[in-house]
Structure 1
């Protein structure tokens, strides 16, 4: 898994440096850090508290408002203390993951866009394996600031879903 993360990070950095050097005036490529918060819904809300994360995202503009987007981040949802039907109380382990997402982005007007992403959330810590991701969202980009509201679903042994808010800066 570390090999995959290093490869993806390396590819994003190479794209950043080559694109900014060769197409600086076209501004067809941007990369930057972001932070995000996830507010669990459904069965995920029964076991986990609000999650937080940080990562790096990139955009490549294609044609007529259409673009490709990708990101690598780290998310952590602290576990809650839960009481089962028998009255026993126990603590749910935190859910940590490294989501890798790719998607399409379409700008309706210069500041507003919609976006849909898919990918894999590589579970770490007490959980093992990966979960498939589906994440539609709506965003606002003002100068270099990027704000997004989204719904994200992780599919593994059922669905873990959350509403998310994301804020970042693009170079």
Structure 2
């Protein structure tokens, strides 16, 4: 929880520092909301349905083509009914997490980029509570403020919870 508060405070500081440069001809900082859909893979797809998430992302341009990125959000995967091996079934609880990601984005050409993020996933609710690590490589297109990304993300806590995701955001 301290990590979440620290990240939120850091993003707010970055926002206010970036706000001072907003009138500059070259915008070096942006922030905005995102939504994402996630499609579980591997063992995670056996126990959970498609997931959905929302959050807030920010980025700071470092040098030509390289940008520092970060986000904090909320993801939820509905649970499935799973066979218990004796003819009955068990209803899996929903997997809910607060992912906190930090990483780098590199523009291959003006609108096409590759990105890698790492961080933590704070599991909440009845499923797998606690904190795990995460890695999330992706590729995307950013045109003006609209950003669309395809990614693979894996959370590591007692088992690997991996998924392919589509993420859409708008940055101000």
TM-score interval (norm. to shorter): over 0.9
* TM-score (norm. length: structure 2): 0.94
Say how many residue pairs are matched.
Answer: 170
Partner Cα separation in structure 2 for residue 20 and residue 30 of structure 1: 9
More strand by share: 2
**Which residue of 1 is the match for residue 41 of structure 2?**
41
Structural RMSD (CA): 1.2
- Give every structure 1 segment of 4 or more consecutive aligned residues whose post-TM-superposition deviation is greater than 6 Å: none
Partner Cα separation in structure 1 for residue 4 and residue 160 of structure 2: 24
Q: 1:23 deviation in Å? A: 5.0
List aligned pairs for 1:1-171, cutoff 5 A.
1=1, 3-25=2-24, 26-126=26-126, 127-171=128-172
* TM-score (norm. length: structure 1): 0.95
**Consecutive unaligned residues in structure 1, runs of 5 or more:** none
SS of the residue corresponding to residue 157 of structure 1 reads coil
**Consecutive unaligned residues in structure 2, runs of 5 or more:** none
Kept in 1, the 8 Å contact 2:21–2:28? The answer is no
Partner Cα separation in structure 2 for residue 7 and residue 134 of structure 1: 20
Which stretch shifts more, 81-90 or 20-29? 20-29
